[in-house]
A and B are shown apart, each in its own frame.
Chain A
């Protein structure tokens, strides 16, 4: 009877966790703070964000996952249609990946969980910073999505893992710069539709 109770308790908690993260079709594995999430938007401007990637023109936006008491969030820098001036903000992972069909999540390879958590810590520290619509890497005061990821990863790992891409002489951190190389590994890919 006691065993049955614990099975029910565990099963119940697991389902709650999954339901929090599961979207229409996204059956995610357990995510952790510091994981990096990518999505392919369908909006008016999405193609511009996709097109600057040179290796894989797949995703148009990215964010940093933060897990807190069984709830998963994404911290990301984006424009905002309501205020006209976007900023670094947090939203539930569920709403970040839905209704987008094409989503992937990467995790830093060979780093302690506590180090990976520092990626999210950096993101939290920068909540509220203005969105950088000029994509200016020298500003330091404003962030665009991949710029936030680059600085967060550099802060956590004490080294700069993410390189820039030159687009007509314009230095930018493209979306695919954030998952190029074996310093990260894929933990979820909507195209594969399986949980590794």
Chain B
């Protein structure tokens, strides 16, 4: 009985964790950027739109992905407009201390990083 309860608890936690992935723009941005900067492309792409994933694959093929193991996401602020959000952040591994913006879109109740038009 106790074993069943423990297993159920773990299952519930796993479901909650999975559901929690991408449940806020800030969380999504943080996980995406931290994984991308470490070269964990497969994980990063889970937090991005399909189009953005294709773009990341192309960047990797061109050997242009910049790896920065020291990257640390520093949240500045967020703007949410319905299913669209912009996260402003800084990186502790960024020598210029530049504030950057990351765009996100909500699809199937999950926030995903998306390439913005500002190319």
Binding site for B on A (CB under 8 A): 41-46, 48-49, 51-52, 60-61, 78-82, 84-86, 131, 133-135, 145, 167-168, 170, 172
| B11 CB, min distance to chain A CBs, angstroms | 32
Chain A residues in 8 Å Cβ range of B24:
none
Q: Which of B38-81 contact A (CB under 8 A)?
A: 49-52, 54-55, 57-59, 61-64
Chain A residues in 8 Å Cβ range of B101:
43-44
Closest partner residue, chain A, to B117 (CB atom): A78
Question: Complex formed: what's the CA distance from A48 to B58 in Å?
Answer: 10
Evaluate contact between B55 and A79: CB separation under 8 angstroms. yes
Chain A residues in 8 Å Cβ range of B117:
78-81, 86
CB contact between A167 and one of B54, B64, B114 (< 8 Å): that residue: B64
Chain B residues in 8 Å Cβ range of A81:
84, 103, 105, 114-117
Tally of contacts, chain A with chain B, CB under 8 A: 87
CB contact between A168 and one of B51, B52, B57, B63 (< 8 Å): that residue: B63
Known: A44-B102, A168-B63. A79 touches B119 (CB 8 A): yes
Evaluate contact between A170 and B105: CB separation under 8 angstroms. no
Known: A79-B51, A81-B105, A82-B84. A48 touches B114 (CB 8 A): no
Known: A43-B101, A79-B51, A82-B84. A133 touches B64 (CB 8 A): no
Question: Complex formed: what's the CA distance from A172 to B61 in Å?
Answer: 11
Closest partner residue, chain A, to B118 (CB atom): A43
Evaluate contact between A168 and B54: CB separation under 8 angstroms. no
| B59 CB, min distance to chain A CBs, angstroms | 5
B97 at the interface (CB under 8 A from A): no
| A182 CB, min distance to chain B CBs, angstroms | 27
B112 at the interface (CB under 8 A from A): yes
Binding site for A on B (CB under 8 A): 49-52, 54-55, 57-59, 61-64, 84, 100-103, 105, 107, 112, 114-119
CB contact between A84 and one of B58, B64, B100, B105 (< 8 Å): that residue: B105
Known: A45-B55, A86-B51, A133-B52. A79 touches B62 (CB 8 A): no
Chain A residues in 8 Å Cβ range of B57:
134
Evaluate contact between A84 and B112: CB separation under 8 angstroms. yes
Chain A residues in 8 Å Cβ range of B84:
81-82
| B8 CB, min distance to chain A CBs, angstroms | 36
| A85 CB, min distance to chain B CBs, angstroms | 6
Chain B residues in 8 Å Cβ range of A168:
61-64
- List the 3 shortest-distance A-B pairs measured between CB atoms, nearest first: A43-B118, A79-B115, A168-B63
| B46 CB, min distance to chain A CBs, angstroms | 15
| A26 CB, min distance to chain B CBs, angstroms | 17
Question: Complex formed: what's the CA distance from A177 to B100 in Å?
Answer: 28
18 additional A-B pairs beyond A43-B101, A43-B119, A44-B101, beta carbons within 8 Å, are: A42-B118, A44-B100, A44-B102, A46-B118, A48-B64, A51-B64, A52-B64, A81-B84, A81-B117, A82-B105, A84-B107, A84-B112, A133-B51, A133-B55, A167-B64, A168-B63, A170-B61, A170-B62
